[in-house]
Amino acid sequence: MALAPNQLALSEEESAMLAGEHGEAVAMCMRIIVGVAKANGAEKLIEIESAHADGTLYHGEAGLDFTEKLVALGGKVKVKTTTNVGSLDLLHPTLVHGDEITMAHGRRLMDAHIALGCEPTWSCAPYQAGHRPAFGSHVAWAESNAIAFVNSVLGARSDRYGDFLDLSAAVTGRVPFGGLHHDAARKAVLVLDFSNIDSKMFSEDAPWAALGVLLGNKAGTRVAAMVGLPGDLADGGVTEDRLKGMGATSASAGGVGLFHVVGITPEAPTLEAIIAPNAEHIIITAQDVQEARDQLSTTTSDKLDAVSLGTPHFSVDEFRALAEAIGEGPKFAEHIDFYVSTSRDVLARSKVLGYFDVFTNAGGRVLTDTCTYVTPVLNRNVRNVMTNSGKWAWYAPGNLGIDVVLGSLVECVASARAGRVVRDESLWS
């Protein structure tokens, strides 16, 4: 008998999972997956190869109760599942100064994810901490920057998953077949053209954060294609970390889950390969980029108390660039707190390569397992912070009640040494 439109069809195994034949934890998660599938009009479920759990950061009792309930029911993840940042730095416990109850509950939440069989990556950038899904593979990733990256830069397929749904997908190994899992949903309905802008503007990392604001503002939740960006690194072109930063900012300023950079990202060898019929075209100017940059700075003061890098988590390449910028020059000014947030995996590799020592010898501190804009790490007297991260600049003023200045990595190092904000305005002309 033919199915009615949008009627959800389950396989025999999926029906058994829903009926409790695979255990109560699986049944509970399957009810969530099926409920979302029906609400979204999905006709079937599909198997996933991996998941990235975002609910590891303690926001309240509901997330802790849900995760510990799964543990109590004997739940285990069915697919490789990495963990997003938590509420503590388990390697450097003295860096976080939250209240005792929040920290205790944060630890319980992290422990519960481990009990479910999740991998303790504690990173918002699992794609640079040992897990890179293959092109075309279906995954269930939560955390906005990770979703944008896995779809756009790796070409795997994930819709937007959040707390509860991420673990439900991991325990069942299933997600509704909808959203960005579909070919049609991955076509660009918007084209942003940067061809009229001198490529020198993109020679540092900060303008790529500004591009993220532009992308988020223009696209919202739509899929956009970007043309005219420099692809040759020698001319200030695209790197993986610049795409990471741009995607993270666009997911914060808008709701971008997938973008294409024509000639660079894997699904977009040409514009024709990924453009939808009747797509909107917008010409971007240098002034547009400058105005986007200004959205990421809340003060024009040159006063500086701290520098924060690593949102999303720092990569090995970023540690190398930081070590090169520091070189053998003087240490950071005594009153400047300089933090880099990163994953355990990247920290270990950067220590072997010597980048960690260059940074810490200059007076810097490394945070793992969490991030400075979501947990209380910065000194309570800090008021003005510089960063090269568009995502950090977007959220930190509201989260922390501080002012922020966006600058390049090189400018952040120079400012930390000078003890005040140092920026090269010619970069933006």
Residues 257-286 have pLDDT tens digits of 999 999 999 999 999 999 999 999 999 999
Taking only the tens place, the pLDDT of each residue in 7-37 is: 899 999 999 999 999 999 999 999 999 999 9
**Residue 1 confidence class, pLDDT cut points 50, 70, 90:** very low
Q: What does the pLDDT look like over 39-97, one tens digit per residue?
A: 999 999 999 999 999 999 999 999 999 999 999 999 999 999 999 999 999 999 999 99
Contact 262, 268 (CB under 8 A): yes
Q: Kindly state whether residue 265 falls inside one of the protein's structural domains.
A: yes
Residue 2, in any domain of the structure: no
Q: Choose the final residue of a domain: 274, 294, 314.
A: 294
Q: What is the reported pLDDT for 429? A: 64
Pair 42, 148 in one domain: yes
Please report the pLDDT score of residue 355 as a whole number. 98
Are 60 and 205 found together in one domain? no
Indicate whether 1 belongs to any domain. no
Structure token pair of residue 378? 């910065």
Helices and strands: H and E segment counts in the chain? 14, 14
Same-domain check for residues 36 and 156: yes
For the chain, percent of residues with pLDDT exceeding 90? 92
Q: What local confidence, expressed as pLDDT, does residue 232 receive?
A: 57
Residues 283 and 358: their CA atoms lie apart, in Å, by 42
Q: Which residue among 146, 178, 210 closes a domain?
A: 178
- Do 199 and 87 fall within a single domain? no
Last residue of a domain, one of 178, 195, 228: 178
260 is a domain residue: yes
Q: Is the domain of 18 the same as that of 139?
A: yes
CATH number of 59's domain: 3.30.499.10
pLDDT band at 329 (very low <50, low <70, confident <90, very high): confident
The verdict on 357 and 374 lying in the same domain is yes
Q: How many residues does the chain have?
A: 429
Q: Does a structural domain hold residue 7?
A: no
In a domain, 5, yes or no: no
Q: Is residue 151 part of a domain?
A: yes
The whole-number pLDDT of residue 204 equals: 86
Residues 135 and 57 reside in one and the same domain: yes
Residue 3 located in a structural domain:
no
CB 381 within 8 A of CB 399: no
The answer to whether residues 140 and 197 belong to one domain is no
User: Domain check: are 85 and 164 in the same one?
Assistant: yes
Torsion angle of alpha carbons 303, 306, 307, 311, nearest 10°? -120
Confidence of residue 373 (pLDDT cuts 50, 70, 90): very high
Q: Are residues 35 and 128 both part of a single domain?
A: yes
Model confidence pLDDT, tens digit, residues 242-260: 999 999 999 999 999 999 9
Residues 290 and 303 in one domain: no
* Alpha helices (H) in 40-161, listed in sequence order: 61-72, 100-115, 144-152
Considering its fold, how many domains does the chain have in total? 3
Q: Has residue 403 got a pLDDT over 80?
A: yes
343 and 391 share a domain?
yes
Structure tokens at 271: 């514009």
For residue 230, name the pLDDT band (cuts at 50, 70, 90): confident
Q: Would the pTM count as exceeding 0.85?
A: yes
Domain holding 172, by residue range, is 12-178
What is the band of 406 on the pLDDT scale with cuts at 50, 70, 90? Answer: very high
